[in-house]
Chain A
Amino acid sequence: MTAYLLRRLLGLVPVLVGVTLLIFFLTRVIPGDPATAMLGQRAAPNLVQRLRTDLGLDRPLFLNLPKARETGVWTDVLDSQYFSYMSGLLRLDLGRSIYTLIPIAESIRHRFAATFELTLAAMAFAVAVGLPAGVLAATRRGTVADTAIMLLALSGVSFPVFWLAIIMIYVFSVTLGWLPPSGRLSIGMSVDQVTGMYVLDSLLRGRLDVAIDAARHLVMPALALGTIPLAIVVRMTRSAMLDVLGQDYVRTARSKGLSERRVVRVHALRNALLPVVTVIGLSFGSLLSGALLTETVFSWPGIGRWVYDAIAARDYPVIQGGVLFVAVMFAVVNLLVDMTYALIDPRIQYS
């Protein structure tokens, strides 16, 4: 198991190096750079050039051959944009945003906490509703309940999230006034940050009022975002359950005289969980990489919008740091998913 884990982690290294290369060069082949983005529509060319020099954007991307030739020191070849970035990375320094000069690592910490809180809530909703609904649909196959559940699941994936989000805001905030339309906390409230997840932090600090306020802000974004994994979980659970319910061991369990309840819960569901856990893991990973639309509509200060805005602004360090972080998250989630297989199915061995 440990050997397996180590091997998986080692295997990550080339993947991540590949990611840095890809992101580094992709961000630079698109026309327009931070200097033009910053100085705007009618910037004087000499100012753009000066800013470029200030930002180190006039250095070669990959190998600084001219400098090495000039100084005669071969290591000067590495005085390029990519290798400066990589040497920072090896020192665990992700750099700073070109615009705000805020260290990337710090932004990731705050932004990720917001995204993580939202993702956890959305997935909790999707699993809590999706698993029982999927099981119900499978055991009542062909009934009205089955059709209704599948129809809802289908609409879950079909409705665009931003549309659903705006409808929710109009119904629950504008018309009924039950929930706040957007943001993470009401004006005038504040949280002593520990983890950056407001509901948890305020509970840790014993501020029930703040926790309730934060939770009220979390409800709509989580529901809107949760509809996508919800639909996937329902459909996956249903089909996996149907598959398992037709197996010999389920018939055996039934013929042993076990209650239907026990057959479904212990014998069928546990065996059906494997593919479901896989999709839960994958959805979790993709939600963590940022739910751009949900974050935009609900003004949720998460990873997705941060990277999106950085792309428009050509904030290279933010794009590089943000995407690399997302790649790492994906890899870690995948690894965790693989690990949970062993918990569900003891026959699975890691070697």
Chain B
Amino acid sequence: MPRYATSLLLAFILLNTLSPARPQDPTVVLAEDVSQAPFVLSVPTSLIRANNGLQIVMHDDGAGQGLIFTLGPDEIVVTLRRGGEATELARAQAPLPAEGGAVVLKRLSGGFAVAYDAVTVLRMDADLPDGGRWGITGTAAAALDEIAFQPVEQVVFRGIAEPTARLAELQAGTIDIAVLLSVDDLQTVQNDPNLITAIPTSELNVGYIAMHQANEPLDNLLVRQAIAHAIDREAIIEAFYGGLGVTAQGFVPSTMFGQPDPWPYTYDPERARELLAEAGFPDGFSTEFWYMPVSRPYYPAPQPIAETIASFLADVGITVELMTEDWTTYLADYQTGKFPMYMLGWNADYADPDNFLLTFFGPSAVTDLGWDDPETRDLLQQARQVADQDVRAGLYAQVGNNVAEAVAMIPFAHNRTLNAMRSNISGWVPSPLGYSSVSLHSVTKAE
């Protein structure tokens, strides 16, 4: 996934989801609050058909302007509205697919895409009529403040930055669904008779600990093995993941194909000390460990987790200085080798091992990890070129085993997010791709 919003924030409200279709001018309103949330909005084709068309408007808070996606039964028009004037940006002929399908609006790094299920009909990275570019909204602007399906259905998206505030709104009944709550609040949600938890059965993410081999002594395999043996991942996950996380055995979430052998470096501080001595560091060594300044599903509490990791490392003689910095800076710096050791993670863009393994251990492994392994890169390329899933599974397992053997990185956890809804809401299933993929097709709200 390109990037999470700095402070993510989606809580949304479903109103009148069951009210009958009225063939008037249905409008979906999406409004800011500016954060960098990427998003995918999926609109059922039945909704478009029932109303003979649907408009989706994206605009700033009260400023009569924005992009309008008009989704007709066989045509898509994208219009830019600014200060009362409307300019057509793009138009595509596209008959709606069969009943049960969906039209998907997705914010891309190059602009927007409008797609019918899997087929992209229109991709927008056009220039603005007055010369400015609008398409550069990659992970941009709209955390959705307000979205309303009118009059058939009305859904209001609200951007609420604080997890505690999202929970308060949910408890007060002013919103119906809240995503990404703090795991500390699991008990509160479970004890509240008005709330139901909505936790995905599996979520496609992984948190990891990386070591950049340009830094001595991290270039030493024995040292990396020692680090892997020194950290009790189970204990940390039990303490900080509220029962929702699992210890990672590799970099591909356990529900997907292409699993390697289980991670060979179990918690064994004695073995870690031996390996350090064998590597020539009987008294340990010192280095820097950088932790993320923001929490993410795969690292719900980065600082306390980093402190605990540091104490496990100290136990075998490795002294780490804990460091952090502003998130955008962090994302620029980890690729430069500035961080000897760092924590980071990944939420999948699509459900395939390729999205994890090629991302981590493809060409970027050289800059991000100081790990240059042509064999692994070859395997990853091969896996992209075959269609047979069994063959691909074998190739990805091999990649995973190579990574484990070289301890190129240490897989940490796969986690699931805590979301909750009011007890009168049903049919909402959080996506394994996380909150950036929101599907509201089958949601209903009882009185």
Instruction: Mark A residues whose CB is within 8 Å of B.
Output: 30-33, 36-43, 47, 51, 54-55, 96-102, 106-107, 110-111, 166, 169-170, 173-174, 177, 180-183, 187-188, 193, 196, 296-299, 301, 305-306, 309-310, 312-314
Contacts and interface: CB of A to CB of B under 8 A. Distances in A.
Given A31-B329, A32-B332, A193-B62, A181 B32 contact: no
Given A100-B141, A181-B174, A309-B35, A54 B331 contact: no
Of residues B6, B140, B158, which shows the largest number of chain A Cβ atoms within 10 Å of its Cβ?
B140
Contacts of A177: 172
Contacts of A174: 168, 171-172
Interface in B325-370: 326-329, 331-333, 344, 346, 359, 364
B268 interface: no
A312 B1 CA distance: 18
Given A39-B109, A51-B136, A107-B60, A32 B32 contact: no
Given A38-B137, A40-B331, A101-B137, 6 more contacts: A42-B364, A43-B109, A47-B109, A100-B34, A181-B169, A296-B162
A166 B36 contact: no
Contacts of B3: 37, 39-41
B165 A40 contact: no
B430 interface: no
A38 B13 contact: no
Given A38-B138, A166-B165, A169-B165, A102 B65 contact: yes
B133 interface: yes
B10 to A, nearest CB: 12
A297 B162 contact: yes
Given A41-B2, A169-B165, A309 B34 contact: yes
The interface residues of chain B, by DSSP majority, are classed as loop
A40 B164 contact: no
B165 A99 contact: no
B16 to A, nearest CB: 10
B162 A187 contact: no
Contacts of A183: 158
A40 B332 CA distance: 9
Contacts of A32: 326, 328-329, 331-333
Interface in B19-38: 32-36
Contacts of A314: 328
Given A32-B332, A182-B160, A299-B160, A196 B34 contact: no
A182 B169 contact: yes
Contacts of B162: 166, 296-297
A181 B63 contact: no
A166 to B, nearest CB: 6
A31 B138 contact: no
Contacts of A313: 6, 34, 36, 328
B134 interface: yes
A55 B132 CA distance: 10
Given A55-B136, A106-B60, A196-B62, A42 B359 contact: yes
B159 A299 contact: yes
Interface residues of B, number: 55
Nearest to A173: B172
B379 interface: no
A99 B109 contact: no
Contacts of B34: 97, 99-100, 306, 309-310, 313
Contacts of B378: none
30 contacts: A31-B328, A31-B329, A32-B328, A32-B331, A33-B332, A36-B328, A37-B36, A37-B328, A37-B331, A40-B331, A41-B2, A54-B136, A55-B136, A97-B141, A98-B136, A101-B132, A102-B65, A106-B60, A107-B60, A110-B62, A180-B172, A182-B165, A187-B15, A296-B7, A299-B159, A299-B165, A306-B34, A309-B6, A309-B35, A313-B36
Nearest to B58: A100
Contacts of A37: 3, 36, 139, 328, 331
Nearest to A295: B161
Contacts of A166: 162, 164-165, 168
Interface string B233-273: 00000000000000000000000000000000000000000
Given A312-B326, A312-B327, A39 B2 contact: yes
Nearest to B164: A166
Contacts of B364: 42
A299 B61 contact: no
Nearest to A98: B136
Given A181-B168, A182-B160, A38 B63 contact: no
B402 to A, nearest CB: 20
B168 A169 contact: yes
B141 A106 contact: no
B32 A100 contact: yes
Given A296-B161, A299-B158, A38 B136 contact: yes
Nearest to A306: B34
Nearest to B138: A38
Of residues A39, A111, A314, which shows the largest number of chain B Cβ atoms within 10 Å of its Cβ?
A39
Interface string B42-64: 00000000000000000011110
B128 interface: yes
Contact of A38 (B62, B140, B332): B140
Contacts of B136: 38, 51, 54-55, 98-99
Given A181-B168, A187-B13, A296-B162, A36 B138 contact: no
A36 B332 contact: yes
B105 interface: no
Given A36-B328, A40-B138, A180 B33 contact: no
A193 B138 CA distance: 31
Contacts of A96: 132
A33 B162 CA distance: 26
A158 to B, nearest CB: 21
A54 B125 CA distance: 12
Of residues B7, B139, B158, which shows the largest number of chain A Cβ atoms within 10 Å of its Cβ?
B139
B136 to A, nearest CB: 6
B156 interface: yes
A292 to B, nearest CB: 10
Contacts of B332: 31-33, 36
A111 B33 CA distance: 11
Contacts of A47: 109
Contacts of A31: 328-329, 332-333
A259 B369 CA distance: 81
Contacts of B140: 38, 99-100
B60 A102 contact: yes
